[in-house]
């Protein structure tokens, strides 16, 4: 696991430290149990993909929160060091996908040192805001 | 004082960064649609197209069934667009699902039976499709 703590982690953590420490709210993550509706709609999404109370994201706030993301997701050809792969393009993904991804990192069910650290610093509302901004980016 | 304490970790991270050396862009890996650092074989576009339309025994679904044509028309809002996404990231994601490092009710099953060759092929195929995604370059400029 430590082997994955790469340069990318260093890079992203630098900007993380300052702005975020101030707003280190004890996040109240609420992986709410699945609503019957969601469970029905998805034989697909099941228990391990808890549905989060859909918060309305504010793209303008998300814009402010995502400056840090550019350190990895905004550099052309930027790669994760180990394993070695391009950091994914995330602009234009759906808010639902982005919200899930960040919550998975926050819970630790999706693993990446930098992304887990980032996600843990975000409140549920932050995550909704970030997803709103990123999903509205068009090519 | 508080400010000093706060900047300490940042400084430490910076030192580490310097010690690690700069971020590398790897033109060689960029160019090759083939082998990756993850040790996958060279992917084939034709193989990938076939695999993308092959129903998984575990889920009864093809990639296209859920991610849509070209990987750009997801059936459900929680499914990502994968058309035009980086080949090596796609391969990494499939490997992570297969190896249990990433979990999803469908994708974990879908990936469980994939060979390295199929992962390489699928990654080449979806990376070659039209791209609707973008990175964050210039995203904050307007």
Domains of chain B by residue range: 43-133
The 3-class SS string of B7-58 reads HHHHHHHHHHHHHHCCCCCCHHHHHCCCCCCCCCCCCCHHHHHHHHCCCCCC
Beta bridge partners of A85: A80
Residue recorded with tokens 């391009």: A86
B18 phi, psi to nearest 5 deg? -60, -40
More confident residue, A29 or A55: A55
In this prediction, residue B35 carries a pLDDT of: 43
What is the percent of chain B where pLDDT is above 90? 70
Read off the pLDDT of residues B81-138 as tens digits, 9 standing for 90 and up.
Answer: 999 999 999 999 999 999 998 999 999 999 999 999 999 999 999 999 999 999 999 9
Instruction: Please tell me the class of the B43-133 domain.
Output: mainly alpha
- pTM for this model (two decimals): 0.71
What is the average per-residue pLDDT within A56-64? Answer: 97
- What are chain A's domains? 61-139 (1.10.760.10)
Distance between B86 CA and the closest CA of chain A, angstroms: 6
- Is B21 an interface residue toward A (CB < 8 Å)? yes
Q: What was the ipTM of the complex prediction? A: 0.75
**Contacts of residue B116 in chain A, CB cutoff 8 Å?**
none
- Is B140 an interface residue toward A (CB < 8 Å)? yes
Distance between A71 CA and the closest CA of chain B, angstroms: 9
Read off the pLDDT of residues B36-46 as tens digits, 9 standing for 90 and up.
Answer: 446 899 999 99
């Amino acid at each position: 696991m430590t082997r994955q703590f790469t340069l990318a982690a260093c890079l992203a953590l630098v900007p993380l430290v300052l702005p975020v420490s101030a707003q280190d709210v004890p996040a109240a993550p609420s992986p709410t149990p699945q609503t019957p509706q969601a469970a029905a709609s998805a034989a697909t999404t099941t228990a391990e993909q808890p549905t989060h109370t859909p918060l309305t994201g504010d793209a303008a706030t998300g814009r402010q929160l995502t400056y840090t993301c550019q350190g990895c997701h905004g550099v052309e050809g930027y790669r994760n060091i180990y394993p070695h792969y391009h950091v994914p393009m995330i602009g234009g993904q759906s808010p639902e996908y982005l919200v899930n991804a960040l919550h998975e990192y926050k819970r630790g069910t999706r693993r990446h040192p930098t992304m887990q650290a980032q996600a843990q610093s975000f409140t549920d509302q932050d995550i909704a805001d970030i997803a709103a901004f990123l999903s509205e980016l068009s090519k | 004082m508080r400010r000093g304490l706060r900047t300490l970790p940042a400084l430490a991270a910076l030192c580490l960064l310097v010690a690690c050396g700069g971020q590398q862009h790897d033109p060689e890996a960029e160019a090759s649609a083939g082998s990756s650092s993850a040790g996958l074989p060279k992917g084939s576009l034709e193989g990938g197209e076939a695999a993308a339309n092959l129903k998984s025994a575990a889920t009864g679904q093809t990639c296209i069934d859920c991610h849509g044509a070209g990987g750009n028309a997801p059936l459900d809002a929680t499914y990502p667009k994968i058309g035009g996404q980086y080949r090596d990231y796609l391969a990494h994601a499939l490997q992570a699902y297969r190896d249990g490092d990433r979990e999803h009710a469908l994708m974990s099953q879908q990936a469980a039976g994939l060979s390295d060759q199929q992962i390489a092929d699928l990654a080449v195929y979806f990376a070659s499709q039209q791209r609707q995604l973008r990175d964050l370059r210039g995203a904050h400029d307007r």
